[in-house]
Amino acid sequence: MDVGKNLSNASRSLSNSSLKEKLSSLSVTPLKPITIHSNIEFAPARIPRKRRMQMLAVAAWSVAIALTTVLFLLLCSVPSLWPFLAMYQIWIWIDQSPEHGGRTSRWFRELAFWKYFADYYPASLLKEADLPPDRPYVFGYHPHGIIGMGALATFATEATGFSAAFPGIKPHLLTLASNFRMPFYRDLILAMGVCSVSKQSCSNILKSGPGSAITIVVGGAAESLSAHPGTADLTLRKRLGFIKVAIQHGADLVPVFSFGENDIYEQMPNQPGTTIYTLQKKFQSVFGFTLPLFHGRGLLNYNIGLLPYRRQIVVVVGKPIHVEQCGKPDIQEVMRIQKMYIEELTRIWNCYKDQFAKARTRELSIIE
């Protein structure tokens, strides 16, 4: 036992001494400071209060779906509220307001919140002609952009002065019916006059009386994939449904072009034929909408995040195209009206492109 103990102590002593020799033989290398090269452009600490409010308004609306969903889930964690939440869910499924003109609240549309929202870009409305309130109207909005912020500011709020510019016209911006299944969020957009884009909804609104108007973002999800800064690639040639609806209800068609809508976000390159484009189109065919891979700015920086850039949006409301009512229009009549519509839309582009699209990389193009 003593021999083993002595051997153990000796080996321990040897290992300690050899370790000291090795450590002493090592040369000490001074640490060099690590330099992080970053391309993030941070916002200054001192920014006027008005600009802060504009940023908060845009940020709040950008995450409105997420905020309302979280709020609903938090309320679901309170057992005493379950009966009320259950009744609310039933109400969501039976409420026909999205198909019958919504529940527009003038007070909600005129909130100062929306003025901050519009002034962030800034977004403005340019009117080319009066619209008599003695007939219904179908506004065709182009381009879709990534999200359609200009359409929201112009037709779902009073931030750009729509009602003052067109007295007697009652606008309804249309969106996917799935948006009206989202708790609380649905109530916000209903108060803004937003309704379902279904054929029945369009018909119900246009038949509700003179001055009734719907706004359809014609290019839809497909056009959002073409939303790149400096471009105006429209998905329009095969979109005949909104023209048929206008003819069937005797509603004048009003082309609307939003200069700057495509500029407020950057989108990853996704030209037709690329893997990204193929996957996006497949997603669209399955779910009915698509997911553009985009980025903008952040709350505290200017070049990384999911908030839109501060870039001017000018929504030009063109001259109305008078339409004679016909319950069952033939394809020749539809194509004739479409030709007039495209000519008016092209005229708007050519008239204002040098003023509001100076940074364009190419001219207006109808890609499909």
**pLDDT tens, 320-343?**
999 999 999 999 999 999 999 999
Give the length of the chain: 368
pLDDT grade, residue 15 (50/70/90)?
Answer: low
Q: Please state which of the ranges 119-123, 143-147, 272-276, 319-323 shows the lowest mean pLDDT.
A: 272-276
pLDDT tens by residue, 132-182: 999 999 999 999 999 999 999 999 999 999 999 999 999 999 999 999 999
Number of alpha carbons in the 13 Å side-chain half-sphere of residue 37: 0
pLDDT on residue 37: 41
Q: Between vectors from CA 350 to CA 347 and to CA 356, what angle results, nearest 5°?
A: 120
- Give the pair of three-digit tokens for residue 214: 């719907």
DSSP string, 32-48: PPPPP-----BPPS---
Number of alpha carbons in the 13 Å side-chain half-sphere of residue 202: 24
Element (H, E) at 313: strand 313-317
Measured distance CA(344)–CA(365) in Å, rounded? 14
> Helix, strand, or coil here: 245?
helix
Q: Are the C-beta atoms of residues 191 and 104 closer than 8 Å to each other?
A: yes
DSSP string, 142-174: E---SS-HHHHHHHSSSTT-HHHHSTT-EEEEE
Q: Are the C-beta atoms of residues 98 and 176 closer than 8 Å to each other?
A: no
DSSP 230: T
Q: Are the C-beta atoms of residues 301 and 40 closer than 8 Å to each other?
A: yes
Q: Is the model more confident about 12 or about 228?
A: 228
State the pTM of this model: 0.86
pLDDT on residue 60: 97
